[in-house]
């Protein structure tokens, strides 16, 4: 995958966001005979999966009993590849304007892209991890917020801080290869799915609740943490070669908030065709909002197909909404 430094002048459909929904939309645009350009601020396709949980197993993608995050992204890129989508990575679409009725995007480097339609699939927008307060001022290594490569943590003592899905997912993934995994959470209730919590508990992974990591030990690299547990007289010391701070993240829609899109908090309102209030601008995936919205990868795939097929008719009014069956295309 290479960055596009030339920036084409025009494309039939510009897809903003190269996560799973955007990648599947690129396939469908190609299937409909449309030229397509994917734009993403991240340097690689895959969105949150690539940035946050490439090693996690995903269990709710139709046709795959389970699939690793990075493998799902690789398959989606391969699925779209026969239609030669153009990727503009490490760039952000800053503004939208119109040449007559056609949208034109202005990128953060000043280049512009004329479009027949725009499809926004940028998920939660850009995101930054919530910091671990105890790590403030600690300049050594060993504090991570995501785990791109599980193998790096083989035979390590790992402390996972947090009580959400990410914290328990990382504990499950790291348990087979780490020397030890301990979860520390500030409450005795968890945001993670009960099934995942039960799986971690069944592995006898220590879970320290009503607790805070208050200090880090080590110099060039962390060697342990100090944990204060509510009701205990003194702090506990836990060995730690790596701390996974799974404390969530702060999302930001960035320049999209200035486009004139009708928003519901951090989400773009769409109609049943996935059209927004802006002409020739559609949206799909986690960024969208409508009655009954369910934010799942599976939902995003269906919305991508709906959005692209409706965009195809807007781009070419003589086209049919129904694309035909892919099995008939060979």
**Can you say which residues are annotated as belonging to the binding site?**
21, 40, 48, 53, 93, 127, 286, 327
What CA–CA distance (Å, rounded) separates 112 from 97?
Answer: 10
Pure H helices in 132-263: 165-174, 194-202
What CA–CA distance (Å, rounded) separates 268 from 307?
Answer: 14
Residues in the annotated binding site for FAD: 21, 40, 48, 53, 93, 127, 286, 327
Beta pairing partners, 88? 39
Whether the CB-CB separation of 304 and 284 falls below 8 Å is answered with yes
Whether the CB-CB separation of 121 and 19 falls below 8 Å is answered with yes
- How many C-beta neighbours within 10 Å does residue 12 have? 19
Closest among 82, 225, 67, 71 to 158, alpha carbons compared: 225
In what helix (H) or strand (E) does residue 184 lie, and over which residues does it extend? strand 180-184
Q: Is 158 helix (H, G, I), strand (E, B) or coil?
A: strand
Q: Which residues contact 37 (CB under 8 A, 6 or more apart)?
A: 8, 11, 13, 14, 15, 85, 86, 87, 88, 113
Backbone angles phi, psi at 281, to 5 degrees: -120, 120
Tokens of 76: 């989606």
Q: Is 141 helix (H, G, I), strand (E, B) or coil?
A: strand
- How many C-beta neighbours within 10 Å does residue 16 have? 24
In what helix (H) or strand (E) does residue 20 lie, and over which residues does it extend? helix 20-31
Instruction: Give me the sheet containing 211-218, strands edge to edge.
Output: 211-218, 222-229, 236-239
Tokens of 74: 């690789």
What CA–CA distance (Å, rounded) separates 97 from 161?
Answer: 44
Closest among 153, 81, 116, 91 to 9, alpha carbons compared: 116
């Amino acid at each position: 995958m290479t960055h596009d430094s030339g920036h084409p002048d025009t494309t039939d459909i510009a897809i903003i966001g190269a996560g799973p929904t955007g990648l599947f939309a690129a396939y469908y645009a190609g299937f409909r005979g449309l030229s397509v350009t994917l734009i993403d601020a991240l340097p690689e396709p895959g969105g949150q999966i690539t940035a946050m949980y490439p090693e996690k197993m995903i269990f709710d993608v139709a046709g795959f009993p389970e699939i690793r995050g990075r493998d799902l992204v690789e398959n989606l890129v391969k699925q779209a590849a026969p239609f030669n989508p153009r990727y503009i990575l490490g760039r952000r679409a800053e503004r939208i304007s119109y040449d007559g009725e056609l949208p034109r995007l202005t990128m953060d480097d000043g280049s512009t892209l004329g479009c027949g339609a725009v499809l926004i699939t940028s998920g939660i927008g850009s995101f930054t991890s919530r910091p671990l307060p105890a790590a403030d001022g600690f300049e050594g290594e060993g504090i991570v917020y995501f785990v791109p490569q599980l193998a790096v943590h083989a035979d390590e003592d790992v402390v996972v801080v947090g009580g959400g899905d990410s914290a328990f997912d990382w504990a499950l993934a790291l348990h087979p290869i780490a020397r030890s995994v301990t979860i520390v959470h500030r409450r005795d209730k968890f945001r993670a799915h009960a099934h995942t919590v039960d799986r971690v508990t069944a592995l006898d992974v220590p879970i320290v609740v009503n607790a805070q990591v208050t200090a880090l030990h080590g110099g060039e690299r962390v060697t342990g943490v100090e944990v204060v547990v509510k009701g205990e007289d003194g702090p506990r010391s836990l060995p730690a070669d790596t701390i996974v701070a799974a404390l969530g993240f702060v999302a930001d829609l960035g320049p999209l908030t200035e486009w004139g899109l009708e928003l519901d908090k951090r989400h773009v309102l769409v109609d049943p065709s996935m059209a927004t209030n802006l002409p020739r601008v559609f949206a799909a995936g986690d960024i969208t909002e409508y009655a009954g919205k369910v934010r799942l990868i599976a939902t995003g795939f269906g919305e991508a197909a709906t959005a692209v097929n409706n965009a195809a008719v807007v781009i070419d009014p003589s086209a049919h909404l129904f694309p035909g069956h892919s099995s008939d295309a060979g």
